[in-house]
Structure 1
Amino acid sequence: MCIIGAGPTGITTAKRMKEFGIPFDCYEASDEVGGNWYYKNPNGMSACYQSLHIDTSKWRLAFEDFPVSADLPDFPHHSELFQYFKDYVEHFGLRESIIFNTSVVAAERDTDGLWTITRSDGEVRTYDVLMVCNGHHWDPNIPDYPGEFDGVLMHSHSYNDPFDPVDMRGKKVVVVGMGNSGLDIASELGQRYLADKLIVSARRGVWVLPKYLGGVPGDKLITPPWMPRGLRLFLSRRFLGKNLGTMEGYGLPKPDHRPFEAHPSASGEFLGRAGSGDITFKPAITKLDGKQVHFADGTAEDVDVVICATGYNISFPFFSDPNLLPDKDNRFPLFKRMMKPGIDNLFFMGLAQPMPTLVNFAEQQSKLVAALPHR
């Protein structure tokens, strides 16, 4: 079996294969495990910024058979999470099965259904089964705005801190998008001693959930899974209504959906900064014109930096078969979010935005794959 990638998804997949006695090679383009959580990863694929803390509590993110340390804070820094993943690999003896500094540059399925894998060092190997664990937060999706911009247009993937790669002090900054990364970066740059003006631009309003509610991590207050879904949603929405209120109360646009009808964003700071006037909201960008950014409400602002926290493309650079690639709208339908019908020895792991976290999702997927009969 071949596993591509040694991020959180790759290492839990490797652990499960070892547990079931299934031989495998795991290829990692970098010099260490951790993938997205390896700050300034030399493979260029990490989306970590210096101030990043996880948005779900440590209890929701931990592997079920490797508890997090009681000494860690509720919402660990990325460096602590990175160490947790390294400790996981050491604890289960996975390191010797990971081939570091080696990427997969081509993966082709032959007429016998076997996978021919070409490595970055030129070596070619054949495998019965291919597990794709290369992640989906590394290939930035940058909007193609009409016009030309004389300032800096960058993706949040390139953002490290308020001074790298661009010194944001005294700048007029637009952050596009209200996902978790967009909220984190806006909250950081919205501090008055940094950006001269901080604008958040988005096509629509979203529900922003605080990390804590009543002094407890919010994701520890979820309703039990045995409860009917309709009742769970009703109780959760009523609780938020009483304890959080409306987004309009913080000076943000009204979402066009009810809580949990779309994946919510989480932030411990954003609502306070928005309500304090440190952050201004604008609708979608319609065009760029020199130093001016135009918005859908007909207004325009002089801007120095636009940071696009606009998500990522799903990419598999090692595949040449168009049937194994997403369409132009980034859609990639899979059976059980894992398999292409008709191909019984190819598994895509961790391709979802689950609640609470991707780590738990990939861990459960790995159980299913390991239990299947293999060649």
Structure 2
Amino acid sequence: MIGAGPAGLAMARALSERGIEYRQLERHTEVGGIWDVRRTDGPMYESAHFISSRTLSGFSGYPMPDSYPDYPGHRQVLGYLQSFADAYSLTRNIEFGVEVSSVRKNADSWVVTRSDGLSETYESVVVCTGSQWYPNIPDIPGDFTGEVRHSQTYSHPSEFTGRRVLVVGAGNSACDIACDGARNAVSASISMRRGYWFIPKHILGVPADVFASKGPRLPRRVQQVLTQPLLRLLTGDPERLGLQKPDHRLFETAPLINSLLLHHLQHGDITARPGIRDAKGKTVRFTDGTTDDFDLIILATGYRHRVPVAQEFFGDEQHPDLYLSCFPRECQGLFGVGFIEANTGAFHLFDAQAHLVAGYLDDLGKRQPLAHPFTERIRNDRPDLSNGLRFDDSPRHTGYVDADAYTTYLEQVSRTYGWPLVSGPPRRSSDAGPTTKAVR
């Protein structure tokens, strides 16, 4: 297994609970993946918090502590992941400081080559390297002479002191970083090419996802009809704040769960701008013809789902061709966990994926792979996981799934093959499960 971030830890627990022997390689010196702000190659920044609530964000059998706030900060999330690894004795099987350079097919096995040149052969490989390491960097037409950086390089609000800042992007990170600019920059603006729906972090005093979970499970189309007017009532008219009107229905793009951006727009701390037309010197011209001067442009424009260790087997780097977002269709023994794009928090989805992969691997140890009915299903099953939504026609939303439809379908699959998708609480050290060993 490659990677010891959230997906890798979920996968390790699922394998360990089934007594499946494994080895886990992690290039960093600690668990946690992107949630470790000390990693200079990661996307984490000081003001980052979960956009899903702690109530609905933990792994099965191991909820986040009640002492955590509704939306934990990155240090609390990292602490949760570290305690999860300790509670299930996962670190004993992790080899830290080991970077993988390639995964190659060799007859009925896989050859994993490390960056130091050492190669080892395994029956199966699970890639859990995550999808937020390789920045998507668009071109800015013209000749901007100020500083341009991707948000991956951004860490602390003090970087904005004394500068005129433009944040480009419409994701949750773009909103967070623009709000950092509102409090620390000489001036702060955010450029969005289109309008989006904003979901406040709290509705009637409770986290938005908790509020939604307490209502009846309605079809997404019905939820759209009911929720869009509610959001207009809660957030007001976005055009009054300089934002563009959404050109799509709610849930058809990744959700923007943010309350502070609207607050700062209402107070004039941030200026809303449309897309960039071009730039000359330090002057940026926008698509509505307006211009402004900036010292720094932060491109909060997302990441590409690169899997450089095994790209040829995973498909296009923007959207890996994976059945249920984790099974390459024509590569027996290779899996990916943590590459799913959905309209909800990710940890519980990683957890379900891990249990599905572990159940399949457990079964493969008892019969020939080609004889397993799930093997044929991987090749040919193409379920509709949109829940009736028409997702936006953009690279990010290629392969996007509705979380409710996805988890419902995984539950159906798990019942068919008898692979439970949840874990119980950790055992005491005195009755821990079997010790796993490396497989070569």
Q: What amino acid is the match of 2:160? A: M
Residue in 2 aligned with 1:105? Answer: 101
* Cα separation, 2, equivalents of 1:242 and 1:153: 37
Q: Does 1:270 align with 2:234?
A: no
- Cα 1:225–1:139, aligned 2, differ >3 Å: closer, same or farther? farther
Cα contact 2:125–2:333 (8 A) shared by 1: yes
Tell me the TM-score normalized by structure 2: 0.79
Q: After TM superposition, list the pairs within 5 Å mapping 1:153-302 onto structure 2.
A: 153-163=148-158, 167-191=159-183, 194-223=184-213, 224=215, 226-302=217-293
- Cα 1:278–1:119, aligned 2, differ >3 Å: closer, same or farther? same
Q: After TM superposition, list the pairs within 5 Å mapping 1:38-77 onto structure 2.
A: 38-41=36-39, 44-77=40-73
* Cα separation, 1, equivalents of 2:249 and 2:220: 15
Residue in 2 aligned with 1:126? Answer: 121
Cα contact 1:315–1:325 (8 A) shared by 2: no
- Pairwise CA RMSD: 1.7
* Cα separation, 2, equivalents of 1:296 and 1:202: 10
Cα contact 1:250–1:272 (8 A) shared by 2: no
After superposition, the C-alpha distances for 1:34-54 in whole angstroms (9 at most, x for unaligned) are 00100122xx33211112221
Q: Shift in Å at residue 100 of structure 1?
A: 0.4
SS at match of 2:37: coil
Q: What amino acid is the match of 2:94? A: I
- Cα 1:176–1:93, aligned 2, differ >3 Å: closer, same or farther? same
SS at match of 2:112: strand
Moved more, 331-340 or 261-270: 331-340
Cα contact 1:222–1:236 (8 A) shared by 2: no
- Cα 1:364–1:216, aligned 2, differ >3 Å: closer, same or farther? same
Q: Shift in Å at residue 225 of structure 1?
A: 6.9
In structure 2, which of residues 322, 329, 346 is the aligned counterpart of residue 341 of structure 1?
329
Structure number with the higher helix fraction is 2
Q: What amino acid is the match of 1:237? A: Q
Q: Shift in Å at residue 6 of structure 1?
A: 0.4
Write out the 4+ residue segments of structure 1 that deviate beyond 6 Å after TM superposition: none
Q: Does 1:367 align with 2:355?
A: yes
Residue in 2 aligned with 1:316? Answer: 307
Q: Shift in Å at residue 325 of structure 1?
A: 4.1
Q: Shift in Å at residue 13 of structure 1?
A: 0.5
Q: After TM superposition, list the pairs within 5 Å mapping 1:30-41 onto structure 2.
A: 30-41=28-39
Cα contact 2:314–2:321 (8 A) shared by 1: no
Q: Shift in Å at residue 208 of structure 1?
A: 1.6
* Cα separation, 1, equivalents of 2:235 and 2:23: 48
Cα contact 1:12–1:363 (8 A) shared by 2: yes
- Cα 1:250–1:212, aligned 2, differ >3 Å: closer, same or farther? farther
Q: Shift in Å at residue 116 of structure 1?
A: 0.2
* Cα separation, 2, equivalents of 1:25 and 1:269: 43
SS at match of 1:221: helix
After superposition, the C-alpha distances for 1:73-114 in whole angstroms (9 at most, x for unaligned) are 11111111101000000000100111100011111011x231
After superposition, the C-alpha distances for 1:169-201 in whole angstroms (9 at most, x for unaligned) are 23111100010100001011112xx22221111
- How much identity, in percent, do the aligned residues show? 35
* Cα separation, 2, equivalents of 1:75 and 1:47: 18
* Cα separation, 1, equivalents of 2:193 and 2:217: 36
Tell me the TM-score normalized by structure 1: 0.92
* Cα separation, 2, equivalents of 1:343 and 1:207: 39
Size of the aligned set, in residue pairs, is: 362
Residue in 1 aligned with 2:389? Answer: none
Q: Does 1:23 align with 2:21?
A: yes
**Structure 1: runs of 5 or more not aligned:** none
